[in-house]
């Protein structure tokens, strides 16, 4: 999966290299939304997360450079957090991704743009829970990426709001399975795939 996302990113970079240089500037985008993980085991630190995660909060901030061809290249910090109750341990997680963000927008009319993109990068994933009257915390590292499709609406000059879908939302952990307290079994899976929906606000300078 990561190889496909990397290939897609290379295609976007190639478009940037072949595009005729036009006037552009810097852009800032922030967004909030929700994520869903289709394979929960690697997201949870436990081998059998019987109770699935509920609503997972997600947000991002992205800064970079755009040109008038509709090409954007920048850096994104993408975060998500959720919790579940596994054997009444109140497990929760925080997932932080630092990603290279490449997007291309296509003007539909004076108000709407269609946007496609890809992001790849590194992740830091933390799980915490309570067990035997003690609080436990485990941090794992890995890689992540996604492809995205979205629609932006121009609300003012150089400002827009957008709705985007990210799929697949892919994460791969590099670490060995966590060393949990006696009596708890750790997950031995290393990859998770899901999707994310984001509502964004952006401004171009």
What's the pLDDT at 84? Answer: 67
Query: How high is the pLDDT of residue 137?
Result: 95
What pLDDT score does 53 carry?
Answer: 61
Q: Which residues pair with 129 in a beta bridge?
A: 136
- Would you give the end-to-end CA distance of the chain in angstroms? 35
Residue 119 Cα to chain centre, angstroms: 8
93 token code pair? 């997680």
Question: Which of 16, 108, 10 is closest to 67 using CA atoms?
Answer: 16
Please give the pLDDT value at position 157.
87
Taking only the tens place, the pLDDT of each residue in 67-126 is 878 889 999 999 998 886 666 788 888 999 999 999 999 999 999 999 999 999 999 999
Tell me, what's the pLDDT at 113? Answer: 95
Q: Which residues of 33-54 are buried (b: 16+ CB within 10 A; e: fewer)?
A: bbbbbeebbbbbbbeebeeebe
Task: Return the pLDDT at 90.
Answer: 85
CA 17 to chain centre: 26
Residue numbers in the chain where pLDDT is lower than 50? 51
Angle made by CA atoms 1, 83, 147, in degrees to the nearest 5: 25
DSSP conformation class of 47? S
CA atoms within 13 A on the CB side of 109: 2
Neighbours of 78 (CB within 10 A): 26
């Amino acid at each position: 999966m990561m190889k496909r996302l990397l290939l897609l990113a290379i295609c976007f970079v190639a478009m940037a290299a072949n595009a005729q240089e036009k006037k552009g500037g810097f852009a800032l985008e922030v967004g909030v939304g929700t994520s869903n993980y289709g394979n929960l085991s690697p997201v949870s630190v436990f081998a059998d997360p019987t109770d699935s995660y509920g609503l997972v909060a997600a947000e991002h901030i992205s800064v970079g450079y755009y040109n008038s061809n509709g090409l954007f290249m920048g850096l994104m910090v993408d975060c998500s957090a959720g919790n579940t109750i596994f054997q009444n341990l109140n497990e929760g997680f925080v997932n932080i991704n630092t990603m290279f963000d490449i997007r291309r927008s296509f003007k539909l009319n004076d108000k709407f743009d269609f946007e496609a993109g890809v992001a790849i990068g590194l992740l830091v994933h933390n799980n915490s829970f309570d067990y035997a009257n003690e609080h436990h915390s485990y941090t794992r590292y890995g890689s992540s990426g996604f492809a995205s499709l979205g629609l932006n609406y121009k609300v003012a000059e150089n400002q827009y709001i957008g709705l985007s879908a990210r799929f697949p939302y892919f994460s791969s952990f590099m670490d060995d399975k966590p060393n949990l307290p006696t009596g708890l079994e750790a997950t031995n899976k290393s990859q998770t795939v899901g999707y994310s929906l984001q509502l964004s606000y952006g401004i171009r300078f």
